[in-house]
Amino acid sequence: MGILDGKVVLITGAGRGIGREFALAAAQAGARIVVNDLGTSTDGTDIEGTPAQEVVKEIQAMGGQAVANFGSVASYDDAEAMVATAIAHYGQLDAVINNAGILRDRMFHKMSVEEWRTVIDVHLNGSFNVSRAAADHFRTRETGAYVHMTSTAGLIGNYGQANYAAAKLGIVALSKSIALDLGRYNVRSNCIAPFAWTRMIGTIPITDEIQRERVERLKRMTPAKIAPLAVFLCSDAAREVSGQIFAVRSNEIFLMNQHRPLRSMHRSEGWTVDTIAEHCIPALKPSFYALDRTQDVWVWDPV
């Protein structure tokens, strides 16, 4: 008996990389899979084959059940069609893994409006579209699970990824809102920030030796390492896990913190610009966060 026996899982961007590993692992755990992948290049500009169908064949070859879907998560109509595909083929939908994504990296002062909007459309709007399309079905059945892909680019920060970082941190807020709003219907929502070498990560420009070393470390972290947590979060074993943010880095699993008050200053007569400058900021400054990036926080090699 697999941990996902009898369940139907829709996985977006499941034709390659992390999404493909999710699809294979969920199928091995007993789930029937809707493999969604538009088949685009890493920047979303060109169609590159039919990877969704290829993953379906892999799942079928190992004795599993799967159906392909080629819709775009950026289209709400396509998102509704993904959910309809699951119900038409398998009679239900039990979990959604929002994994589809693209990159349009650019330093902020050089980023175009089109580069901003396109990445937001795929990551943030795409996660909303697919989640919303499944919500009524989940609510009616009073069960369901969402797993969303966030990133330390949003949770911590990175150069040249304002569009991607904003979308990925927005997904965290979306996930928490879903967990709050649909919790009464036994619907769960969680996030994973994955560390893994993928096609998209392979587009990172190598500008110096430090970046080269970082990329070499990433190459040792395979997408298959992320899949067990995603499968677990889709299962009934995770019935009490909702509204959380996890990170997976090779054999390490982290529970990430969420925004809470860190330190406060009180002045009974109220604040002025001068007293803020003279009293408040000097007192708070020792607790300020540095302008860290992911590699500044994870300074040790993957375990």
Q: Which of 146, 159, 164, 185 is catalytic?
A: 164
> Model confidence over 230-242: pLDDT tens digits?
999 999 999 999 9
Helix 126-141 to helix 76-90 angle (10° resolution) is 40
pLDDT reading at 208 higher than 80: no
pLDDT reading at 204 higher than 70: no
Per-residue pLDDT at 214? 64
Is 164 tagged catalytic?
yes
- Torsion sign across C-alpha atoms 299, 243, 13, 303: positive
60 closest CA partner among 35, 83, 84, 37 = 35
Residues paired with residue 95 on neighbouring β-strands, in sequence order:
9, 145
Burial class (CB in 10 A: 0-12, 13-18, 19+), 299: exposed
Per-residue pLDDT at 61? 98
Give me the residue spans of the domains in the chain.
8-255
Q: Report the range of poorest mean pLDDT among 29-43, 55-69, 116-130, 181-195.
A: 29-43
Whole-angstrom distance, CA of residue 44 vs CA of residue 82: 19
- Of 79 and 220, more confident: 79
Per-residue pLDDT at 201? 57
Whole-angstrom distance, CA of residue 30 vs CA of residue 44: 31
Whole-angstrom distance, CA of residue 214 vs CA of residue 295: 8
Who contacts 72 (Cβ-Cβ below 8 Å, separation ≥6)?
A: 38, 78, 126
pLDDT reading at 24 higher than 70: yes
Burial class (CB in 10 A: 0-12, 13-18, 19+), 212: exposed
Q: Read out DSSP for 124-182? A: IIHHHHHHHHHHHHHHHHT-EEEEEE--HHHHT--TTBHHHHHHHHHHHHHHHHHHHHH
Per-residue pLDDT at 246? 98
Using 50, 70 and 90 to split pLDDT, how confident is the model at 197? Answer: low
Using 50, 70 and 90 to split pLDDT, how confident is the model at 87? Answer: very high
What average pLDDT does the structure give for the chain?
A: 93
pLDDT over 70, % of the chain: 89
Whole-angstrom distance, CA of residue 30 vs CA of residue 126: 26
Per-residue pLDDT at 288? 96
Using 50, 70 and 90 to split pLDDT, how confident is the model at 177? Answer: very high
Q: Read out DSSP for 11-61? A: ETTTTSHHHHHHHHHHHHTT-EEEEE---B-TTSSSB---HHHHHHHHHHH
Whole-angstrom distance, CA of residue 28 vs CA of residue 2: 7
Yes or no: is domain 8-255 CATH 3.40.50.720? yes
- Of 84 and 42, more confident: 84
Residues 96, 100, 102, CA angle at the centre, nearest 5°?
165
pLDDT reading at 220 higher than 90: no
Residues paired with residue 191 on neighbouring β-strands, in sequence order:
148, 245
Name the pTM for this structure.
Answer: 0.91
